[in-house]
Structure 1
Amino acid sequence: MAIEERDAFDLALVAIAVALVVGSSVEASNPAAVVGSAIGAVTSLDPIAYLVVLGVGGVLFMAYALLYLPSQSGY
């Protein structure tokens, strides 16, 4: 991925993150209630959901470490 494409991708991610943070804080009259409901939603998930998310994350990390990083070493 070229530097310019990567920069554009990073800027897009930052813009989305800022929009989500500002949007949720503008809508919420009580930020503590929003944080509490977010924590409640996360803690109400089934443990299987955590295992699936962690498994997918582990597979993606290993693919990154084994496929992408060796091609960047330049040796």
Structure 2
Amino acid sequence: MDEATAQTARERALERGVSMNRYIEELVERDAGETGQTFVEAASEFMKSYESLFAEEFPEPALRESEGLPRT
């Protein structure tokens, strides 16, 4: 990393009261979490878009009326 970026990282870490390594770890963890959230949102949109096709292909089993449980 270039010196200007390293200096900025040191300053931000100091402001937060953590080591520079911990500050960078937090950035990576946050980035990974955002990536995961983006994937979940995209998967959700995909499922919404194709919900009717999935329902036709994989119908839910009927529930036993008295127990509210799937038929076995």
| Higher CA-based Rg | 2
Higher relative CO (CA 8 A, sep ≥ 6), structure 1 or 2?
Answer: 2
Q: Which category of TM-score, normalised to the shorter sequence, fits these structures?
A: 0.3 to 0.5
TM-score by length of 2: 0.40
Which structure: greater helix fraction?
Answer: 1
Normalised TM-score (structure 1):
0.38
Q: Higher strand proportion, which one? A: 2
